[in-house]
Structure 1
């Protein structure tokens, strides 16, 4: 076996230019397929961690995905609101540890505005139970303070102290602006890679203040109430869009969910964020499968290229193989030599792909986290990756049968005859 390995290594070194190109081809395909598989798994995990640590999300009765989309991803709109009285009744229950009220419906230059309380900054978690952190400024919103997500501040070039005007509705362009009650940027959040980055955060009091002289989505005629006057009024909201719930005990989750779904004062729906996120991810399964098919095709192309290279080299190596046979090597030795060469090329390509992917993940980990919300683990050697490596070796052994059998059948006399 040692002799076979030594001969195979020397044979590859004699054709190092071709061998290096083949290894690079396998390395690229391995890098792609390992990378896609790992990022697919991590993306699924990060997607499910867009909101973490929240036991339930409660909103007006609608579809589970619709409630998830507008409360977490700021996509779409609520079918109805929750009365402030119902929110207080549910939040005051003995098994509730904390709640985060959410009020949606306004925007700023295409970015959604979220009205909430200080509990948002204390209890909201994303990723691996990560808390929101300020890049600069403060989160004490008051009535007319706004805390910007990282993308909002970056794309619109805002700094702490800048004034902003909110718009009624969620369109990118709005003709119903709350120009009489501007807000001031008091803080900018660190990037999270979640919808938080695309959100303008204000207080519930602020949402109520800008709508105090509006009715049914239309500003009432007249001079209106000034910003100075409105802060002296009772700004308790009449309704909110939804709220997040953290319970004192996980055991109480399903009981609390059932009680909310059977709430008699108004029709409400409570969902488990993890379950809803899994359902949403399953709807994206087609894209996931396409990525795997593309990766598989890249791998097949590289292995076929290796098989073609070995087969094409048979004519050049005919005399070399014949000499090996002439010194007493059995035909099976030649066959195993070709197989071993192919497996060595694949092993080198896989090792290179693993090293390249590991280095890439180290260098791009922060980039993935901040820009795309993907919290990539450096350990990508999962059971699925090991299965893929096994498939690569098996496919190599099968494809190497063609040049291996060609060498096996080569005639000793034909190899030694000098052609003129």
Structure 2
């Protein structure tokens, strides 16, 4: 009997030891503890940095952005600036109110299309400083008048950037205080005016042709294949930095903030002369188009068929499970874009007047624009692992 009790106690001790060993082993098991990882181990108690994740199809993203948006938008822009130059030469060859009207329409169409590609300020566009050459404002009207009166100008020089481009055409086609007939008479009687007009439109064509040719040759493939990382110099980094800089500095600040007086020191006095298309008197269609284009691009929309939505930066954010206040970051960003567009549609042209007489409502819209900045500059870049490489010193 004593022998049986002894054997029983021995078995209990052995089994207890085995249980303790097993418990101790499981209690300190190392492995991947992230449920989102491909090799997630539910039994692992301690992370050992071994998690493996599915890679986002960055090549597919860049391929879609290049072929579905960038190439067709650059093609449309090239076509419209060609039409602009043809309308300019037709007008200067046979000055008339009807030809002036055609030229104005061609200018507006080309400038609207410019909004679709203005944020693609990397690669070929950055190389020739396309944005500064194409749409600098306010334009230097005194310089333009001096160029025409003297017959001396060099539009390829950077010092002439504020005397050429779309905003110089804004002045040349919508001369303040003149009727359309008086503008026609000006080009009929003023030496060098027609030559200057044609050279300005030709300069836009020359730069557009360069961008078009680069994207339709080797640069497109270089752009798509530069997808190994999101480090500075990669295509994802170039895209994210370019659209952030364009939105923050040229759209939010340039199109709305500066005219409102948001950046005018302590006085905050409006500066209506700083609006885009000051002489045309219609600024909002271009601001709205700029926001809409950024929204479509980020969502991977086809430029010609916007309802065709393929891989975009929104999908990349969704892949990383990026959240903002409990909602998908991509949805929060998209909704903010829509809020901004609705706000801009609630303002009235001429914007130069609106920023003075309806400044409070303009600031409400500016606040909507500002709210998007941290979403794309901080939250999105963090989710995608992209470093902002530009500096913005406007104090916001």
TM-score (norm 1): 0.22
User: Larger Cα Rg: Structure 1 or Structure 2?
Assistant: 1
Higher relative contact order (CA 8 A, sep 6+): 1
Greater strand share, structure number: 1
